[in-house]
């Protein structure tokens, strides 16, 4: 699969450029404009590399305030493209990469690999945020899979959360590792773009095993973990859901109900019938994954940001 | 408070970091240099530069010392031209990263044509980016090599006040200072300056634009050279002001021109927390931090 057919790099570039430039004070504005023009007129790798390192020397780092309209425009340009929580320096680095993207595939890929393998933490965040916008997108699959192995949570978040690249391009093994790692690192699953579409048997088995391991150790489990089991579940899942429904903990019960409804198999339906009284006792407002995720994070004193 | 603006911590131990911190060293600059044996692959340069801006900086911070670096292709390895070409392509990836205070250490070793070529190319890079330059002057044929380094720099229209000429001695100091460059002196046993000679240099020239450093590396060298020289200067009647200038302020003024090194970096630093991680690794390697006491047998 190549980049989505509707996606046009130059539209995304023009949109982000306008959005950032109008927010920058004159010195940063002028520096950015000069350097982006240089990248377009003289697309040498050296200019890209120097831009990448120098950006924070000339652009003051701050989180951009994005309107709902701007966010929705971004999503029209690239499905799943998330621009909230983006900083000025991140946006400038993404712009630099996009300005350089008219290069032939081989040299573009080589330059991006150089940036990835020499990047410090903030540079990595920008690079992973740029992934869904890049031309030759599939060629960065292994890079994204490698990035998921990071122990830096901000870098992991840049790949795993609000990023349609992983949904669109990772193979099942890498996707499953990402979900499990997100659970290990207490990351909010409700921010993983397209999480409901990528369920698979192997993932459902890994989730069940992980839950058993936690329970054997006397530890609790995130209710969000039952979300990605909806397709092709392992048989053990039904016993797990039964266990959750018996827990007398509304948040675990709500997760079991949502998971069983999504499964929609005869076994799931009979489970829901068996626990009809429990199900009807749950507050309907709590029966969605986002509410469950947020509530869980609140209870566990984990940040939702 | 002291600054050692030339020290190769990659080759030093944690004992050195602790001793330096205890002796009052608050900030250091680690120039990119060679590692005692020549590298044969560009990838080892890449990982070396990455460690200077990454792990070594973190390691230093864990001992309460702010770490900066200069990035460049050293003169010795410039003689492997096939490799040098590839290293030159790497430099733009690193020279503007956070905490990089200049291009260095560059200059001459054998004073070959290849050395001159890459010296000039890197001077142009420094000029383009308006970065300070840290110049390594040769051990052999030093006086001529030092003069030649400055001639080339002037030829490239680089302001001498942005250039630190390092490894000076009594024979080179006058010309370096007369031409408006910063003059750094390396206190390194047997092969470079001893610190009794350094005291006399300060007595003769004063403290204007004179910098003391250790260049401690993998050889027999002393990471406490700056604080020890400061102490010796005090013993032998050099004024407190001159000691401060040569062992702290001049290094800050010279390399601070990069915009990457400010006194507030260490004056307003966070408390040292050795349990912090860098890419998942800590300096503790499973040991307990110095600052904490009390071990529990319960593993949660």
Q: Which residue in chain B has the smallest CA separation from A152?
A: B279
Name, in order, each residue with C-beta under 8 angstroms of A237's C-beta and a sequence gap of 6 or more.
A204, A208, A229, A259, A263
- Spatial CB neighbours of B189, under 8 Å, sequence gap ≥ 6: B220, B221, B222
Contact list in B for residue A54 (CB cut-off 8 A) is 96, 129
Name the pLDDT band for B285 (thresholds 50, 70, 90).
Answer: low
Which two structure tokens, joined as six digits, stand for B15? Answer: 């004992």
CA distance A288 to chain B (A): 32
pLDDT band of residue B276 (cuts 50, 70, 90) is confident
Which three-class secondary structure state does DSSP give residue B140? coil
Same structural domain, A291 and A150: no
> CA-to-CA distance for A267 and A264, rounded, in angstroms?
8
ipTM given for this complex: 0.82
- A118 with A32, same domain? yes
Residues A217, A162 within the same domain:
no
Domain range enclosing A291 = 199-305
Burial B117-131 (b: 16+ CB within 10 A, else e): ebbeebbebbbebeb
pLDDT at residue A68, rounded to an integer: 97
The whole-number pLDDT of residue B300 equals 45
For residue A269, is it within any domain?
Answer: yes
Query: Which residues of chain B are within 8 Å of residue A152 when distances are taken between CB atoms?
Result: 279-280
Edge-to-edge, what's the strand order for the sheet holding B210-213? B2-4, B25-31, B66-71, B100-107, B133-136, B163-166, B182-186, B210-213
pLDDT-based confidence at residue B294 (cuts at 50, 70, 90): very low
- Answer with the residue of higher pLDDT: A14 or B193: A14
A254 and A165 in a common domain: no
* Nearest alpha-carbon partner for A136 in A2, A8, A5: A2
For the entire predicted model, the pTM comes to 0.88
Cβ within 8 Å of A, B 74-93: 89-90, 92-93
**Is residue B184 classed as helix, strand or coil in its secondary structure?**
strand
**Residue A218 sits in the same domain as residue A296:** yes
Domain end point (choices A149, A170, A191): A170
pLDDT at residue B291 is higher than 80: no
* Cβ contacts of B10 within 8 Å, gap of 6 or more: B30, B35, B48, B51, B52, B56
CATH number for the region B2-265 comes to 3.20.20.140
Which pLDDT belongs to residue B293?
A: 40
pLDDT value of position B207? 97
| Residue A44 in contact with partner chain B when CB distance is under 8 A | no
If asked whether residues A143 and A218 sit together in one domain, one would say no
Say how many domains are in chain A: 2
Based on the fold, state whether residues A24 and A92 are members of the same structural domain.
Answer: yes
- Interchain contact, B96 vs A54, CB within 8 Å: yes
pLDDT of residue A175: 97
Examine the domain organization and report whether A110 and A12 are in the same domain: yes
Distance from A84 to chain B by nearest Cα, in Å?
A: 25
Q: Which residues of chain A have pLDDT under 50?
A: none
Q: Which two tokens stand for residue A166?
A: 């992983």
Task: Work out the average pLDDT over B63-87.
Answer: 97
In a domain, A33, yes or no: yes
User: Is the CB of residue A43 less than 8 Å away from at least one CB of chain B?
Assistant: no
Both A127 and A221 in one domain: the answer is: no
The yes-or-no verdict on residue B269 having pLDDT over 90 is no
Residues A166 and A234 in one domain: no
Q: Is pLDDT at B220 greater than 50 in this prediction?
A: yes
Residue A185 inside a domain? The answer is no
Of the two residues B290 and B85, the one the predictor is more confident about is B85
Contacting B residues, span 95-114, partner chain A, CB-CB under 8 Å: 95-98, 100
Task: Say what the pLDDT of residue B173 is.
Answer: 96
Distance CA B35, CA B148 (A): 25
pLDDT at B282: 73
Q: In whole numbers, what is the pLDDT of chain B averaged over residues?
A: 92
Establish if A264 touches chain B: CB-CB under 8 angstroms. Answer: no
> Are A17 and A69 within one domain?
yes
- Determine, yes or no, domain membership for A186: no
CB pair distance less than 8 Å for A54 and B94: no
> Do residue A213 and residue A87 come from a single domain?
no
């Amino acid at each position: 699969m190549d980049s989505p057919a509707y996606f046009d790099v130059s539209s995304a570039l023009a949109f982000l450029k306008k959005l950032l430039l109008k927010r920058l004070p004159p010195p940063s504005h002028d520096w950015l404009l000069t350097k982006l023009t240089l990248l377009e007129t003289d697309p040498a790798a050296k200019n890209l590399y120097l831009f990448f390192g120098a950006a924070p020397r000339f652009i003051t780092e701050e989180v951009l305030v994005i309107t709902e309209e701007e966010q929705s425009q971004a999503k029209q340009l690239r499905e799943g493209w998330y621009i909230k929580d983006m900083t000025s320096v991140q946006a400038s680095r993404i712009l630099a990469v996009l300005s350089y993207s008219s290069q032939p595939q081989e040299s573009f890929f080589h330059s991006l690999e150089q940036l990835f393998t020499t990047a410090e933490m903030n540079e990595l965040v920008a690079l992973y945020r740029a992934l869904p916008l890049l031309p030759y997108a599939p060629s960065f699959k292994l890079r994204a899979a490698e990035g998921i192995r990071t122990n830096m949570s901000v870098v992991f978040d840049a790949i795993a959360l609000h990023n349609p690249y992983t949904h669109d391009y990772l193979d099942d093994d890498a996707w499953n590792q990402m979900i499990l790692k997100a659970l290990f690192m207490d990351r909010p699953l409700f921010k993983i773009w397209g999480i409901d579409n990528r369920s698979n048997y192997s993932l459902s088995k890994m989730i069940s095993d992980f839950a058993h391991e936690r329970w054997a150790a006397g530890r609790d489990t995130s209710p969000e973990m039952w979300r990605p089991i909806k397709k092709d579940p392992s048989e053990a899942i039904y016993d797990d859901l039964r266990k959750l429904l018996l827990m007398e903990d509304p948040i675990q019960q709500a997760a079991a109900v949502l998971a069983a409804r999504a499964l929609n198999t005869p076994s799931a339906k009979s489970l829901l019938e068996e626990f009809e009284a429990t199900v009807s006792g749950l507050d309907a407002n709590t029966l969605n994954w986002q509410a469950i995720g947020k509530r869980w994070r609140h209870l566990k004193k984990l940040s939702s940001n | 408070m002291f600054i050692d603006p030339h020290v190769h911590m990659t080759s030093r131990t944690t004992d050195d970091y602790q001793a330096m911190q205890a002796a009052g060293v608050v900030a250091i600059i680690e120039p990119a240099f060679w590692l005692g044996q020549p590298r044969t692959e560009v990838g080892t340069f890449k990982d070396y530069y990455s460690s200077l801006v990454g792990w070594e900086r973190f390691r230093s911070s864990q001992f309460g010392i702010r770490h900066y670096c200069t990035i460049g292709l050293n003169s010795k390895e410039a003689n492997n031209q096939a490799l040098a070409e590839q290293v030159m392509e790497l430099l733009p990836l690193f020279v503007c990263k956070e905490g990089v205070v200049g291009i260095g250490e560059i200059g001459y070793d054998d004073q070959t044509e290849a050395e001159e070529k890459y010296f000039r190319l890197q001077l142009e890079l420094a000029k383009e980016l308006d970065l300070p330059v840290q110049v390594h002057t040769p051990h052999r044929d030093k006086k001529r090599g030092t003069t030649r380094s400055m001639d080339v720099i002037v030829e490239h229209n680089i302001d001498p006040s942005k250039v630190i000429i390092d490894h000076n001695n009594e024979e080179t100091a006058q010309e370096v200072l007369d031409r408006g460059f910063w003059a750094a002196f390396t206190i390194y046993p047997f092969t470079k300056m001893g610190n009794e000679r350094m005291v006399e240099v300060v007595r003769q020239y004063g403290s204007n634009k004179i910098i003391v450093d250790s260049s401690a590396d993998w050889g027999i060298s002393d990471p406490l050279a700056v604080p020890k020289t400061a102490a010796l200067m005090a013993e032998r009647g050099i004024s407190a002001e001159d000691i401060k200038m040569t062992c702290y302020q001049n290094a800050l003024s010279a390399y601070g021109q990069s915009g990457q090194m400010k006194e507030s970096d260490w004056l307003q630093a966070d408390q040292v927390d050795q349990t912090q991680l860098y890419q998942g690794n800590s300096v503790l390697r499973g040991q307990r931090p110095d600052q904490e006491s009390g071990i529990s047998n319960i593993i949660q």
